[in-house]
Amino acid sequence: MSLPPPPGYYVPAVLFFDANEDLDVPAIQAHVLRLAHGGVTGILVQGSNGEAQHLSHEERKAAIALTRRTLDEGGFQNVLVIAGTGAQSTRETKKLCVDAKEAGASHVLVLTPSTWPPQMGVDNIIRFHREVADASPIPYMIYNFPVVTAGIDLDSDTIATLAQHPNIVGTKLSCGQIGKLQRLASTFPSTEFAVFAGRSDFFFPSLLCSGAGLIGALVNVVPKVHGQLLKLHQEGNFKDAMALQARLGHADWAMQKLGGISGVKAVVSKNFGYGVPHVRGPLKPLAVEALVGNKYAETVEELIKLEKSL
């Protein structure tokens, strides 16, 4: 029986490059180990922050294997590796799922193809995910993120239909719709179908609605802070949890305003001392120097002070 990843907080890890846009292995390893020390339940390789669409098949497989090996050698065998395996054809997506298993991933997370939005009606979306899930050698999760799928937004009925598939075990909702999350989380136990918030700005509300946790970009910067919020929720300290959630919400918005992926890399480089904020085009790089005096960077760095105190 296929099982979902356990509840907790996961990180769609950024992937560091050197000046030649090759994988910066030492920086990637430093990042993976800092996240693991920060208590993450798992690392998502090639989520939207991992620049999957900018990588060759060989690079995608290598990044998964490097992450798994780094965790194992660092004593973090229990930290999961989930692989983003979305592609624009059913055939390629199937291959990427096989590659993910071979590279050491425990689960795959799959975006809906979006090159031809008019052809991606509900029936075709369901057909695509079922066909790939049939072929995937490891448990399968649905990734709903309209921003990167030409506005395609799977509703709760569509996801609930797909949840009946024996190998489809969860979803990441980067759409940010708390009503959708609650409808799904109240329909399926998280031991059978795990419903994860896809953004830190509704992490605590998602927990109140029986969500399984978070897979969110801001965890790249402040993993321990996310662990603290989860702990406060588990202890029933909702007042402090809500106060911390407010800070996460402001920081999550600030990271978006700093330019997303390159902003995450620049903030990490400046505050934790590894990696350079190189991105592959057409993404725009953000220099570390641009963070100085930036009000959004200051918002994030206030939370980093808490991170470093935990």
Q: Is 125 annotated as ligand-binding?
A: no
Contact criterion met (CB below 8 Å) for 23 and 231: no
Contact criterion met (CB below 8 Å) for 61 and 102: yes
Q: Which tokens go with 157?
A: 């009925």
Q: Using N-to-C axis directions, what is the helix angle for 295-309 and 223-235, rounded to 10°?
A: 60
Q: What is the 8-class DSSP label of residue 142?
A: E
- Catalytic hit among 172, 224, 265, 270: 172
Taking the C-alpha atoms of residue 196 and residue 199, their distance in angstroms, rounded to an integer, is 9
Residue 40, classed as helix, strand or coil, is coil
Taking the C-alpha atoms of residue 80 and residue 4, their distance in angstroms, rounded to an integer, is 11
> Which residues are CB-contacts of 118 (< 8 A; sequence separation ≥ 6)?
none
What residue has token string 């100085």?
292
- Catalytic hit among 9, 10, 140, 143: 143
> Which residues are CB-contacts of 121 (< 8 A; sequence separation ≥ 6)?
none
Q: What is the 8-class DSSP label of residue 210?
A: T
> Which residues are CB-contacts of 62 (< 8 A; sequence separation ≥ 6)?
23, 103
DSSP character string of 256-308: HHTTTHHHHHHHHHHHHS-------TTSPP--GGGGTT-HHHHHHHHHHHHHH
Taking the C-alpha atoms of residue 254 and residue 245, their distance in angstroms, rounded to an integer, is 14
Catalytic residue flag (residue 172): yes
Catalytic residue flag (residue 9): no
Q: Which tokens go with 74?
A: 């660092």
Which amino acid belongs to residue 280?
R
**Which amino acids are annotated catalytic?**
143, 172
Annotated binding site: 215
Annotated binding site for pyruvate: 215
